Structure 1
Amino acid sequence: MDSLDTVNGGKTIGSLETMFDIVELVEGEVEKLAREAETTALFAVHRQGRSVFVAQSSSGPLDGTEYFGRERYLHNTAFGKVLLAWVPAEAVVTIIERDAR
């Protein structure tokens, strides 16, 4: 089984089944945020050096984009940069050297 990484130095927080627990935990807040902001709200986790979108909700005009399950390089998105802020500096260097092109 694959594991999900926390934003704290890649420590495991559980198996892929844990992702469903995370979604259950945050989806109400993501829906609330989307409703209040009248836009699309997303939630991502740090997994194996990438950000993975695990919750999405839209309110107001929809752009039709589905983000759930998409992976992005951490350094390429605002979400990823927030996740990188919690990773030890030496791990950030490794991630960026590996993924920056």
Structure 2
Amino acid sequence: MNWVILIGSGLFEAAWANALGRSEGFTKLWPTIIFAVTVVISMGGLAWAMKTIPVGTAYAVWAGVGATATVIISMATGQESATILKVVFLAMIIGGIVGLKMVA
């Protein structure tokens, strides 16, 4: 169950990262509120998962999931171009996350 929480927390990391970018330095109300709520959920889930998952593994998975999801959202919304190399490198991050789960 803690792995599910960890993956979910990584997805919330992507949510707060995108909200932070759209808050324009915390000058826009709704992106700022979304940032505040999702950062608390994300960090709380990471802390919860670290009860049973080693810190290094948990942090690497959380950051990898968050970074991958953030780039995918940016590509899907047109804020960032999608190239073959970006997709290959994102697949490598996902492969690393799967590998960490397999050896945990």
* TM-score bin, normalised by smaller chain: 0.3 to 0.5
The structure with higher relative contact order (CA 8 Å, sep 6+) is: 2
TM-score, reference length from structure 2 = 0.32
Looking at secondary structure, tell me which structure has more helix per residue. Answer: 2
Looking at secondary structure, tell me which structure has more strand per residue. Answer: 1
TM-score, reference length from structure 1 = 0.33
